[in-house]
């Protein structure tokens, strides 16, 4: 439509948002308490008041590509103070979930991630891939899957060969990167267009170098969770989030070292418990389990905050990764071979879910929010 003022509400969009945790959005009566209460909203064109009316009018175009929805950290201050119980924080959370499914192709997969009925299917996908690929390779004589790994020591690599794992996980990582790349291209464009239309940026075009510099500038904010800790209501969430965040960083480093050691130095695992890399792995693993546990506990006790399937999905997967990983190690050290190998398989299934569906799950926020924050920094959004 040529007329930029013409608006056409999308009722289906409203219903979707309501399903994804924004069922209260229609309660908003536009008093703007939320925008005033928000500790991290900029002064110029603050959120979430304008997002709330756009949502209740079903104006998808104004929301999906709106960088502001990602600047929100769902502190909950607005939700706590909203006189109508419209829960702006949770509504923005729902809009974010919708935006994730919008930008991640194929959309069908995004739908599956958000559909509780498909949870088992998602778990089955890696199980089938691992087993099927292992068996197919076996037929061709490549023995990377061994159902009766022997030997004194329990080495998980003897069951699912590291080669087999990486044969799956490396392409998966690439696919994730590709999906994000495609999504981000559209996202950046939309975000810029939205910012131009709403007067939220002082830049005409996106300059890649300047943008990267802005990204560099916001990294400390992200690493220190500075925005998160400005929040009032849900401040304790910053702690658990920080734990989970750094445990992932730790595990990422461990995986990196392991990868290099394996393929570069031909050093195989498992590492000795005295190895500093193992220390980092253990600390991170424990932090992951505890952090996730705290998150689940908060979700269960905080009745003011909306928790829907998208939240539980991610928490279960992360918890699954952490718990299965730690238990695999524990059973290995205890010498319970059968159980340990089974747990390892479960661990692989969870890890696959976490990574392969990252662009479709709530976890995608780590990319979108980072980019949105970098864009806000770049566009001088204040």
| Size of residue set near another protein by CB under 8 A | 23
Is 20 within 8 Å of 91 (Cβ atoms)? no
Nearer to another protein, 50 or 237 (CB): 50
- Binding-residue pattern over the window 9 to 28 for another protein, x denoting contact by CB under 8 A: x-x--xx--x-------xx-
- Identify the residue among 22, 50, 296, 327 touching another protein (CB under 8 A): 50
First to last CA, the chain: 31
Task: Let me know if 98 is exposed, middle or buried by CB neighbors in 10 A (0-12, 13-18, 19+).
Answer: buried
31 binds another protein (CB under 8 A): no
Residue 92 has which token pair? Answer: 């923005």
CA distance 224 to 132: 43
307: number of Cβ within 10 Å: 17
Phi and psi at residue 5, to the nearest 5°? -85, -15
Q: CB 49 → another protein: shortest distance, Å?
A: 8
CA distance 365 to 12: 24
Nearer to another protein, 29 or 147 (CB): 29
Nearer to another protein, 14 or 372 (CB): 14
Nearby residues of 175 by Cβ (< 8 Å), 6 or more positions away = 356
Q: Could you check whether the bond before residue 56 is cis, i.e. omega within 30 degrees of 0?
A: no
CA distance 224 to 227: 8
Judged by CB under 8 A, the stretch of 5-13, 135-143, 178-186, 298-306 that binds another protein is 5-13
- Binding-residue pattern over the window 75 to 114 for another protein, x denoting contact by CB under 8 A: ---------x------------------------------
Find the binding residues for another protein in span 139-198 (CB under 8 A).
Answer: 198
Judged by CB under 8 A, the stretch of 50-58, 214-222, 284-292, 337-345 that binds another protein is 50-58
Q: Could you list the residues that contact another protein (CB under 8 A)?
A: 3, 5-9, 11, 14-15, 18, 26-27, 29-30, 50, 53-54, 56-59, 84, 198
């Amino acid at each position: 439509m040529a007329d930029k003022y013409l608006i056409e509400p999308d009722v289906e969009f409203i219903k979707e948002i309501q399903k994804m945790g924004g069922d209260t959005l229609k309660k908003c009566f536009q008093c703007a308490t939320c925008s005033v209460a928000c500790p991290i909203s900029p002064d110029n064109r603050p959120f979430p008041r304008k997002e709330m009316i756009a949502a209740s009018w079903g104006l998808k175009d104004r929301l999906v590509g709106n960088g502001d929805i990602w600047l929100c950290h769902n502190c909950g201050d607005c939700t706590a103070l909203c006189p109508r119980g419209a829960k702006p924080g949770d509504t923005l959370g729902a809009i974010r979930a919708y935006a994730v499914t919008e930008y991640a192709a194929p959309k069908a997969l995004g739908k599956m991630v958000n559909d509780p009925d498909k949870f088992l299917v998602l778990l089955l996908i890696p199980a089938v891939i691992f087993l099927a690929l292992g068996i197919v390779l076996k037929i061709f004589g490549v023995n990377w899957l061994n159902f009766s790994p022997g030997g004194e020591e329990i080495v998980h690599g003897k069951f699912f060969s590291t080669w087999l794992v990486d044969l799956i996980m490396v392409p998966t990582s690439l696919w994730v990167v590709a999906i994000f790349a495609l999504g981000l291209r559209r996202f950046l464009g939309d975000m810029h267009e939205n910012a131009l239309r709403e007067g939220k940026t002082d830049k005409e075009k996106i300059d890649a170098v300047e943008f990267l510099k802005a990204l560099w500038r916001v990294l400390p904010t992200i690493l220190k969770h500075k925005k998160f800790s400005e929040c009032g209501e849900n401040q304790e969430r910053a702690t658990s989030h920080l734990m989970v965040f750094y445990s992932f960083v730790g595990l990422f480093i461990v995986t990196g070292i392991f990868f290099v050691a394996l393929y570069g130095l031909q050093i195989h695992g498992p590492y000795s418990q005295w190895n500093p890399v193992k220390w980092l792995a253990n600390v991170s693993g424990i932090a992951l389990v505890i952090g996730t546990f705290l998150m689940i506990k908060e979700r269960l006790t905080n009745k003011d905050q909306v928790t829907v399937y998208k939240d539980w999905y991610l928490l279960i997967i992360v918890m699954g990764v952490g718990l299965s990983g730690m238990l695999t190690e524990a059973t290995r050290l205890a010498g319970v071979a059968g159980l340990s190998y089974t747990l390892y398989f479960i661990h692989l299934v969870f890890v696959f879910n976490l990574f392969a569906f990252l662009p479709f799950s709530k976890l995608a926020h780590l990319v979108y929010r980072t980019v949105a924050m970098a864009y806000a920094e770049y566009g001088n959004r204040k």
